[in-house]
Amino acid sequence: MSSPVHGWPARFPVGRVTYVNGRYLPHAQAGVHLEDRGLQFADAIYEVVGVAGGQFLDEEEHLERLERSVREIGMAAPMERGPLKLVLREMARRNRVRDGLIYMQVTRGAMRRDHPVPEAQPRPTLIITARSLDPQSIEDRRVKGVRVITEPDERWARCDIKSTSLLPNVLAKTAARKAGAFEAWLVDSEGYVTEGASTSAWIVSDDGRIVTRDLSNSILPGVTRRVILKAASEAQIPVEERKFTVAEALAAKEAFITAATLGATAVVAIDGQQIGDGKPGPLARRIQELYRHAALVNQKAQESGR
């Protein structure tokens, strides 16, 4: 194998493989055209599928959301769903991923740099990477809970599209890490929590209801969020989809975050203030159990042809 491309990190694991437009390439050598619109304009969308014990979690739901995001920005799909699922499995196999994630990115393709979307659009660029995560570190985080801070929500007005335009999220997440926290909860101009920089935000009210922001252009329609809402309803756990303030979150009995690679993870402090008794609460733990069961049942049903 040749040496990594000049200027690229040499720390990429040897043997890691990336998929770019029909080719499986050494990760350190993969790339796109300089005038790819994803690079030039963030004219691109992305999706992430979690993998646990070799099982793809909520795969159909993630692919549905990818297709929706593509449609919402008027871009052609790079591949039919069936062949794409075969590529995802090949990527997991080549990268030896049993616990981790599959990352997909679709850009509008490469052409001369110009802001307007051309009528004759180029072939979309499809990039897929796969990497392992340490399941024990994820479990440890769930056992101990995480800390979050609040940051102003400075994103664009179409957060329901899973766009790669993530600079506000990056800055909020960086602020969280500098503050010793795991996540940043974004707060709109009216003082209501929208969601985390890379997660959905939840609280538990005094009467035991789980509360999360209602769907709109202000938040991403989280796949894990949707599975949890359905599982909670089936378990007869009261649920409210509505706005909640930072003050309400600080006074909540429990709080937690959800994402494809996290499931449900308890929040034990917000802006340095302890939530509840400062430990993962019983409802957050129950939600995590329900999600694990629902995600695995869903995947088995999908693989059997449902």
Q: Which two tokens stand for residue 252?
A: 């909540």
What's residue 4's pLDDT?
42
CB 161 within 8 A of CB 45: yes
In a domain, 2, yes or no: no
- According to DSSP, residue 99 is labeled S
What's residue 268's pLDDT?
98
Question: What pTM, to 2 d.p., does this model score?
Answer: 0.91
- Between CA 169 and CA 20 the distance in angstroms is 25
CB 44 within 8 A of CB 118: no
We report the CATH number of the domain holding residue 185 as 3.20.10.10
- Between CA 199 and CA 179 the distance in angstroms is 18
Residues 265 and 198 in one domain: yes
Give me the number of domains the chain comprises: 2
Amino acid identity, residue 87? V
What's residue 186's pLDDT?
98
In a domain, 304, yes or no: no
Instruction: Provide the strand spans (E) within the chain.
Output: 17-20, 23-26, 44-52, 55-56, 100-107, 125-132, 146-152, 183-187, 193-196, 200-204, 210-212, 239-241, 254-259, 263-270, 273-274
We report the CATH number of the domain holding residue 87 as 3.30.470.10
What's residue 107's pLDDT?
98
Could you write out the DSSP letters of every residue in 142-186?
Answer: HHH-EEEEEEE----S-TTS-BS--HHHHHHHHHHHHTT-SEEEE
Residues 110 and 229 in one domain: no
What's residue 271's pLDDT?
98
In a domain, 209, yes or no: yes
What's residue 293's pLDDT?
87
What's residue 29's pLDDT?
92
* 294: phi then psi, degrees, rounded to nearest 5: -65, -40
What's residue 8's pLDDT?
45
What's residue 13's pLDDT?
58
What's residue 6's pLDDT?
42
What's residue 15's pLDDT?
80
Find the domain containing 126 and state its range: 17-132
Give the residue ranges of the chain where pLDDT is below 70.
1-14, 299-306
Residues 23 and 151 in one domain: no
Residues 150 and 120 in one domain: no
What's the CA angle centered on 260, arms 207 and 56, to 5 degrees?
A: 125
Catalytic residue among 162, 173, 230, 279: 162
Residues 31 and 107 in one domain: yes
In a domain, 123, yes or no: yes
Amino acid identity, residue 274? Q
Q: Position of tokens 């593509």?
A: 70
Residues 97 and 150 in one domain: no
CB 101 within 8 A of CB 131: yes
In a domain, 226, yes or no: yes
- According to DSSP, residue 251 is labeled T
What's residue 93's pLDDT?
97
Q: Which two tokens stand for residue 150?
A: 């609040």
Q: Does residue 300 carry a catalytic annotation?
A: no
Residues 124 and 185 in one domain: no
- Between CA 235 and CA 220 the distance in angstroms is 24
